[in-house]
Structure 1
Amino acid sequence: MKNATLRQLKTFETVARRLSFARAADELNLSPPAVSTQIKHLEEHAGVPLFEQFGKRIFLTPAGHEMLQFSRAIIDRFREAEETLAQMRGVAGGSLNIGVVSAGGYFAPGLLAEFLRRNEGVKLELAVENRETLLKQLDDNRIDLAMMVGTPADCGIVSTTFAHHPFVIVASPTHPLVGQKRIPMSALSGERFIIRERGSDTWDAMEQGAIDRFVRRDESIEISNTETIKQAVMAGMGISFLSAYTIGLERRAGMLAVLDVVDFPLVRQWRIAHRAEKRLAPVAEAFRLFLIDEGATQIAQLTNLDSL
């Protein structure tokens, strides 16, 4: 194993976690043949197969399970070394590894661009995932910080509020309820909802706001992509519960309408989270404080959200 490389170990860990060469290739921004080549070289160094295939599915061999434990330990030690060196370098030249839920993708690039303008030389890695995946990435120490909605239930997570997050009920402009005032939630019980998947911040907000009581599961359509949900609503397939930040352009263009539902907008809180035991590098701590101090103001400027 003395000739195995860190790149091979990282590739192996990704394939082992995803149990898919194609999904690992997407995550690593490599081609599937390149991923296969890295795994082949590592198996040659190990002298035993690390994966076995049944039909179209792959599984770790016993040797693969052992290799996964060692690989993660080695990757973690290298990450610790990088973090220690980042502490010595300070903010400039540090690496910021951050995750954000999909609704944040509508303003997070602008926030990060402003932070990078003020802190030259920072290396950025950004992951856009649902809430459940981000919490797993925090737990695996694959990201330093996560921007999400609401307080994580995990007591091992520390989070701080930095901005409001309004949610609204949206419909096609031709929907019969558009233009009506003070619509009671009970009036929505007969509507088909197009919803985000469980594990997403949007579903969590919908559940906490008790909107899920009015969603008929046998009639609803679950879609894991917000852009596709918006297209479905515009096509008249149903109504949806979405972050107000995700519909600004379509609303101003008259392609989507916000229903005037009682007790809406439903306002939750954006939070910046990290593992309690995580020793944040200066660049990560600087970005966390930037969000707390200026996040709300910056988001208001970036989204130009109309009054609801």
Structure 2
Amino acid sequence: KRIFLTHAGEELYQHARVIARQLKDAREALESLREGISGRLDIAIISTAKYFAPTLLSRFCVLYPAVQLKLSVSNRAGIVRQLHHNEVDLVIMGQPPQEMGVVMEPFARNAHIIVAPPTHPLAAEKTVEVADLAGEDFLLREKGSGTRQLLERFLLAHGVEIHPRMEMSSNETIKQATIAGMGIAFLSEHSVTLELETKRLKILPVVGLPIIRDWNLVHHRDKRLSPVARAFKAFLLEQAPHMLPVVGERGMIA
């Protein structure tokens, strides 16, 4: 026989989780005051950020060797869930959920581009009109992905219907499928830096692209940031602009 929480029980459970988290934050804050910046930092990142986040985290750990990191990587739906339940200290993502009370700090540009294999017919063009993309096979992220939503809005604004060839939940799989000639892809430029440098992929010079958004450091508005989290926030806002590749310069890596 299964047991389910009543509505009142569910409310009590959620409040208990918040209280437990606040007690943990308080213990870590006191410990940090006694020993300097130390303790655990729980960070969640959107899957696209995995291409640059380790570089930032590595540098932070050099500066603060007593900090223990827990890193989780998820899609947008997973990140929003973690924010909603206040499960992590900080989140690195693109567009934060508008319907949720969060605090966000932009720290770098996030340029979105369309890439294709160098042998693709449009790859040789100096300019590609949005209308030229009609009928092209797109390799897409799953429905609900922030990257996919951005592409769909862009094409809809230009009256172009998207033609999905395949849906995938991994940027890495999309890149490999694009390199193999299965279609074209709309991705964050940070996720294809290596492939562009090695000429395995090429940016299509589509009119109206790149679309520039921000990478944001986000936390729930009710989150009381520990000294460790505050130290990471200060580090990221100061160092990220100098450590990440500059993107969005006419669709090319600067």
Q: CA deviation at 1:208?
A: 4.3
Between stretches 186-195 and 263-272, larger displacement belongs to 263-272
Q: Which residue of 2 aligns with 1:65?
A: 5
Report the CA distance shift for 1:78/1:225 in structure 2 as closer, same or farther (over 3 A).
same
Cα distance in 1 between the residues matched to 2:24 and 2:144: 31
Find the residue that maps to 2:124 and give its secondary structure: coil
Q: Which residue of 2 aligns with 1:172?
A: 117
Cα distance in 2 between the residues matched to 1:292 and 1:154: 25
Does the 8 A contact of 1:92 with 1:119 survive in 2? Answer: yes
Find the residue that maps to 1:168 and give its secondary structure: strand
Q: CA deviation at 1:162?
A: 0.7
The yes-or-no answer on 1:216 pairing with 2:162 is yes
* Larger radius of gyration between Structure 1 and Structure 2: 1
Q: Which residue of 1 aligns with 2:242?
A: 297
1:207-246 equivalent positions in 2, closer than 5 A = 207-210=152-155, 214-217=160-163, 219-246=164-191
Deviations 1:207-256 (A, max 9, x none): 44346853435x43211111111111111111010111111222222221
Does the 8 A contact of 1:168 with 1:266 survive in 2? Answer: yes
Report the CA distance shift for 1:120/1:221 in structure 2 as closer, same or farther (over 3 A).
same
Q: CA RMSD, aligned part only?
A: 2.4
Q: How many residues align?
A: 244
Deviations 1:141-192 (A, max 9, x none): 2111111112431241111111101111111111111120111011001201
The yes-or-no answer on 1:83 pairing with 2:29 is no
Query: Where does the alignment leave 5 or more consecutive residues of structure 2 unmatched?
Result: none
Find the residue that maps to 1:209 and give its secondary structure: helix
The yes-or-no answer on 1:255 pairing with 2:200 is yes
The yes-or-no answer on 1:307 pairing with 2:253 is yes
Q: Which residue of 2 aligns with 1:147?
A: 92
Cα distance in 1 between the residues matched to 2:116 and 2:170: 17
Q: Which residue of 1 aligns with 2:230?
A: 285
Find the residue that maps to 1:272 and give its secondary structure: strand
1:81-160 equivalent positions in 2, closer than 5 A = 81-90=23-32, 92-160=37-105
Q: CA deviation at 1:202?
A: 1.2
1:193-208 equivalent positions in 2, closer than 5 A = 193-208=138-153
Q: Which amino acid aligns with 2:115?
A: V
Q: CA deviation at 1:80?
A: 2.2
Does the 8 A contact of 2:84 with 2:100 survive in 1? Answer: no
Q: Which amino acid aligns with 2:213?
A: R
Cα distance in 1 between the residues matched to 2:20 and 2:221: 21
Query: Where does the alignment leave 5 or more consecutive residues of structure 1 unmatched?
Result: 1-48, 50-60
Q: CA deviation at 1:261?
A: 1.2
- The structure with higher relative contact order (CA 8 Å, sep 6+) is 2
Does the 8 A contact of 1:101 with 1:201 survive in 2? Answer: no
Q: Which residue of 2 aligns with 1:14?
A: none
Cα distance in 2 between the residues matched to 1:163 and 1:261: 23
TM-score of the two chains, using structure 2 as the length reference? 0.86
Percentage of pairs with the same residue? 34
TM-score of the two chains, using structure 1 as the length reference? 0.72
Does the 8 A contact of 1:106 with 1:245 survive in 2? Answer: yes
Report the CA distance shift for 1:215/1:225 in structure 2 as closer, same or farther (over 3 A).
farther
Deviations 1:188-207 (A, max 9, x none): 01201011112222123324
Q: Which amino acid aligns with 2:92?
A: M
Q: CA deviation at 1:288?
A: 1.5
Does the 8 A contact of 1:192 with 1:215 survive in 2? Answer: no
Deviations 1:106-135 (A, max 9, x none): 010110111111112111111111122111
Report the CA distance shift for 1:209/1:289 in structure 2 as closer, same or farther (over 3 A).
farther
Between stretches 239-248 and 255-264, larger displacement belongs to 255-264
Report the CA distance shift for 1:150/1:210 in structure 2 as closer, same or farther (over 3 A).
farther
Does the 8 A contact of 1:193 with 1:215 survive in 2? Answer: no
